[in-house]
Amino acid sequence: MLFYTGLVIVACIVSSNAIFEKKCDAVDLVFIVDTSNSIWPVNFDMYIKPFLQNVTEMFLIGPGNKDSRVGLVTYSDDYHLQFHLNSHLTSSSLTQGIKNMNFPRGNTYTHKALEYATETMFTERHGDREDVPNLIIIITDGVSAKPTLTKTAADEAKRRGIQVFAIGVGIDVNSGELDDMASEPHETFAFRISEYSALRQISRNFANKRCGVLSTPKPSTTTRLTTTTRPTTTTTRPTTTTTTKPTTTTTRPTTTTTRPTTSTTRPTTTTTRPTTTTTRPTTTTVGTTTDGFNNDKNANVTYCAGKPADIFFVLDSSTSVYINDFRFKMLTFVRDVIHSFDISPEATRVGLVTYSDDVNPVFGLKAHRNKASLLKAIQPESVEYLSGSTNTAEAIKYVRTEGFKRGGSVRPDAAHVIIIITDGISKDPEYTKLEAKRARAEGADIFAIGVGKFTDDEELKGIASDPDSKYLFSVNNYAALNTIRNLLARETCDAISTPVPNDQTTQSGLPICSPSNIHFVYESGSKSFSERNALMNTMRRFTTDERYRGLPIKTSLTTDPCTASNKIPFAKLEEFRQQLDEMRSIQKVTMHSLIKRVRRKYTNVQPEVTKVMVAFVDEDTDDLKRIYREIRNAEYWGFKIMLVAIGNVDQKFLNMVDSSAQRNVVRVNGYGDLNKLVLDVPYLRCGENHTQTTIKVSTTNKPRTTTQFQIPSRSPR
């Protein structure tokens, strides 16, 4: 199970590159970082070091009793001390120490680093203080060489009162071992993320989680009032700063109220936190309310007057959502919003999906033909509370591929709307944003509603349609959903005024303006004649596709060669044995080595050329872990990846490959279906400016463009 959802903001609201208004309480913190052979040095420099730096910047570093101290040890075959808790007692010195950390390679002897940190680093001699909490943050991307010893070492650390956060990165991590290392509850202390790039998101939240875990929060009488200023939008809230822009001015009130304590009202004396003004390069307004009282102006919401719309509500039902909040506040909010729509087969239809570890389709668009039936179906006794982790990506994918499935229950002339309500970070934010991008590209308007302090603004922006001022909402608690119900209904009615067109034009139907190199890769040694024939027929159909005729596309094929000899003539026994040994000694060519070969041979091409690698794998393909590493290497060197998975290929591997916007997975049931497959290769750049990279392009009146990931120029390796 993945535990990314545990990364939550408890004490501070922070953003990357921010100056932190509030530092967390004092802590003696030791980072334990895996530098074994499985760690790619580029990830170490690009992601791990910045993560360590970003986390430490959230603490006040110094020699005093109220200051925090940081130590660092890496490990491979043995532990490698980088510096002790009392080595760097200023922020600038600590920053330099992290920059100077070395990278010893070897195996993954995690237990040695845990034992050294517990026995030696957390001692008075090396800077540990008796009255300050002790904390370990361990980062690894694989299974330890001695799992039993690792568990024993972690248990001893926890027995001594050290709290342990365990962060596992990538496909090789064992979730059970992460749980063994981490403190309890595991959903709070054990995290698993798909790639090192996701550490960037963790760094914005990690220290704040630490604040909430290690200190007891005081009862708050503070109302946080924030004005966010962005280039073309003005948001004005009572008692806060008003920022005026040269274009339009939108007034959204935020109610500051007294919260009930038991049966009485809270003291009216509040402390107002200094207003924070943040400037972002994109046009974004997040409407935020503070408490559960209605401040939604203009409550007279008219019906959407028969406009055809297919709406899916997608509700987070993970463990972080309190069951009564789900049953009596979230479901009530959905019913209240539905009151604003004209429900009928010809007008607005509604489907409902809940999710936690898995997706739970409650009912589809055809299930309820009138409002009375629909409202009755959205009652606590009808909609099951699930619990579990926060698998937002799969919920969006289900609605995209099944809920709005063409030729099924969806109406091509109706607007498609998804309304997502969540109170935490999804277990795979990058995959979540990718699925949201795919849904938007296929014509869906997505509203994202974040509830509480534990959501991530960047992820919500990645989910919601543009502009964020229209499609993104944030409220402080589930009671406050009541404050945005009418506003959401109005915005939804406005969104459905532009219906989805009858036809969706795929990206490959557009003229391709820039040169593209398509590299086909497959391993033939384990394939039968008919299977190899199916692969070659698929590639041949691509070359004869009328959509690509006359366009600047070049193709190549890389596969393993046939053996030099497949027969042995009559020979003496000794000669026969020698020739047999020679045939046996011919080394099998593996798929990961073929991908590496293409990457090394074709990296150095003109910058304007798009490099796409189309790799074929099946259920007999060996060493998927090494294939995944080579795919990541190829992606780093500028290749876009299309993986064609034939048959029963490991689903976990496919999800990892499909988690990046630079990679795409096509699944077929078997080689028989491969003979029917028409390759629709994504990533081929089109348009006048040659910068567009999309999987699908919608022809709605609200086009969305995804800017191509820019690969810095490098010399070939």
Read off the tokens for 589.
């060519």
Q: What is the DSSP letter of 677?
A: -
CA neighbours closer than 13 Å in the CB half-sphere of residue 186:
14
Q: Are 338 and 417 in contact (CB under 8 A)?
A: no
Q: What are residue 71's DSSP bridge partners?
A: 30
CA angle, corner 590, sides to 534 and 614, nearest 5?
50
pLDDT at 191: 83
* CA-to-CA dists, residue 219 to 254, 257, 261, 271, 534, angstroms: 22, 16, 11, 13, 67
- The answer to whether the beta carbons of residues 143 and 176 sit under 8 Å apart is no
Query: 320: left (phi > 0), else alpha (psi -120 to 50), else beta?
Result: alpha
Three-class secondary structure of residue 166 per DSSP: strand
- Residue 436's pLDDT is 93
C-alpha span between 182 and 186 (Å, rounded): 6
pLDDT digits (tens, 9 = 90+) for 442-463: 889 999 999 998 888 999 999 9
Q: What angle do CA 325, 331, 336 make, to 5 degrees?
A: 125
Upstream peptide bond of 50 is cis (omega within 30 degrees of 0): no
Nearest-CA neighbor of 250 among 444, 487, 442? Answer: 487
Distance of alpha carbon 21 from alpha carbon 16, whole angstroms: 13
- Nearest 10 degrees: CA dihedral of 171, 175, 179, 180? -90
Instruction: Quote the pTM value.
Output: 0.39
In which residue ranges of the chain is pLDDT below 50? Answer: 1-21, 207-208, 210, 214-303, 407, 499-513, 564, 685-717
Within 13 Å, how many C-alpha atoms sit on residue 34's CB side? 26
pLDDT on residue 39: 78
Beta bridge partners of 163: 135
Q: In terms of Cα–Cα distance, which of 213, 216, 160, 211 is closest to 190?
A: 213
Between CA 646 and CA 666 the distance in angstroms is 9
Residue 319: predicted pLDDT: 87
Q: What does the block give as tokens for 430?
A: 């990058």
| Rounded Cα distance, 519 and 537, in Å | 15
Q: Could you count the other beta carbons within 10 Å of the beta carbon of residue 437?
A: 20
Instruction: Give 246's contacts (C-beta < 8 A, 6+ positions apart).
Output: none
Question: Domains in the chain and their CATH numbers?
Answer: 28-208 (3.40.50.410), 309-497 (3.40.50.410), 516-686 (3.40.50.410)
Our CA angle for 103, 17, 705, nearest 5°, is: 100
What letters, b where the CB count within 10 A reaches 16 and e where it falls short, cover 487-498? bbbbbbbebbee
Q: How far apart, in Å, do the first and last CA atoms of the chain sit?
A: 37
pLDDT at 131: 87
Q: What is the pLDDT of residue 114?
A: 96
Per DSSP bridges, beta strands 264-265 and 260-261 are antiparallel
Measure the CA–CA gap between 307 and 346, rounded to whole angstroms: 8
> What is the C-alpha separation between 616 and 532, in angstroms, rounded?
11
Complete DSSP assignment for 305-352? TT--EEEEEEEE-STTS-HHHIIIIIHHHHHHHHTTS-BSSSSEEEEE
Write the DSSP symbol of residue 464: S
Residue 640's DSSP bridge partners are: 612
Comparing C-alpha atoms, which of 69, 49, 57, 61 is closest to residue 15? Answer: 57
DSSP-based three-state secondary structure for 429 = helix
| Helix and strand counts by DSSP (H, E) for the chain | 22, 24
Contacts 24+ apart (CB under 8 A), 551-554: 551/511, 551/512, 552/512, 552/514, 552/515, 552/516, 553/512, 553/515, 553/516, 553/517, 553/518, 553/684, 554/515, 554/516, 554/517, 554/518
pLDDT tens figures, 135-153: 999 999 888 989 999 999 9
The DSSP secondary-structure symbol of 284 reads: -
Tokens at 386, concatenated: 């699930």
Return the axis-axis angle of helices 199-214 and 49-56, rounded to nearest 10°.
30
Residue carrying the six token digits 């005081």: 218
Query: 470: part of which helix (H) or strand (E)?
Result: helix 468-471
Residues 6+ apart with CB under 8 A from 71: 28, 29, 30, 31, 82, 83, 84, 85, 87, 117, 121, 126, 127
And the tokens for 581?
């040994």
Separation of CA 32 from chain center? 24
What is the Rg, in whole angstroms, of the alpha carbon atoms belonging to the chain?
A: 28
Coil, strand or helix at 553:
strand
What are the start-end ranges of the E strands in 58-105? Answer: 69-75, 79-83
* Sign, CA torsion 175/179/181/187: positive
The CA distance from 146 to 179, in Å, is 15
